[in-house]
Structure 1
């Protein structure tokens, strides 16, 4: 029921129902995750954080866990805690190394931490490894070579 509300964009009803359900079952990881999702979607990021944290602590299914990592990390980042986001994304990428959405959010966090060059390098490599654009792929080897040292010049 709450999941359907979230998937259909009825975040306020989902928030109210998840909060009510949590009064009876506060240690339910899924309900905490749903509450976090609803708060986040409503622009109540600060209120979402403790629900994300508790959901992850209690343990989620693999699918919800990936989503909670993205939601919490992104929320840390946009609420001014990029250091927390970086640590969370590092942990998440150890568990889910092939998840490119986690990589993108991690790259944005590196940018926020002033690691612009590293962020750009990672973004270029991710792009060249995941794109199906034939123009980019025709230069993949050169792009990846130059991405290793964006400041290099050759004379």
Structure 2
């Protein structure tokens, strides 16, 4: 199959998903996966549709395959890291979630969603201080709330050491 044909089939699976027909998209993606077993983009889309359908356990090997090499475009790689980390967390595989999401934050340090999901996974591993630090830093740097911005410096200061009281 040509690269153009594969791209057209992937667009069609996106359309099916957007139209609320994820089962049809999944069937087509599974067929594409059989034809392109090593294709990172196909694996990522297949993982994603499994997540959409609540089939997290089935999504994991596709995410892992998608992330195994350097082929994914940056935006898809970011999404795959977030998706895999979040899926590990949902499955109660908290250590793997933290490891995956840390890797995502290292590669994409400005991504607030990755930092937020990492904070949730850190909470699940009882790393409460680091989870809180991440969320406070994210709040201080991204909130448009005037009252948060008024106290931004204090929030950033205390984010570094929550045990400090003065």
The equivalent position to 1:3 in structure 2, one of 14, 23, 30, is 14
What is the DSSP-based 3-state SS (H/G/I as helix, E as strand, rest coil) of the residue aligned with 2:38?
Answer: coil
| TM-score, length of structure 1 as denominator length | 0.92
Between the aligned partners of 2:19 and 2:68, the Cα distance in structure 1 is 27
Q: Is the 8 A contact 1:14 1:34 kept in 2?
A: no
Equivalent residue, structure 2, for 1:71 = 83
Q: Deviations over 1:88-131 (max 9, x none)?
A: 12222221111111111111110000012221122011101111
Equivalent residue, structure 1, for 2:159 = 147
Equivalent residue, structure 1, for 2:8 = none
**Number of residue pairs matched by the alignment:** 154
Equivalent residue, structure 2, for 1:128 = 140
Between the aligned partners of 1:100 and 1:150, the Cα distance in structure 2 is 21
Mapping 1:33-48, distance limit 5 Å: 33-48=44-59
Between the aligned partners of 2:107 and 2:156, the Cα distance in structure 1 is 26
Superposition RMSD in Å: 1.4
Structure 1 unpaired stretches of 5+: none
Mapping 1:54-133, distance limit 5 Å: 54-58=65-69, 59-133=71-145
Confirm or deny that 1:137 pairs with 2:149.
yes
Q: Residues 153 and 92 of structure 1: is their aligned pair in 2 closer, same or farther, counting only changes over 3 Å?
A: closer
What is the DSSP-based 3-state SS (H/G/I as helix, E as strand, rest coil) of the residue aligned with 1:145?
Answer: helix
Equivalent residue, structure 1, for 2:40 = 29
What is the DSSP-based 3-state SS (H/G/I as helix, E as strand, rest coil) of the residue aligned with 1:12?
Answer: helix
| TM-score, length of structure 2 as denominator length | 0.86
Q: Deviations over 1:15-42 (max 9, x none)?
A: 1110011122211111111111111111
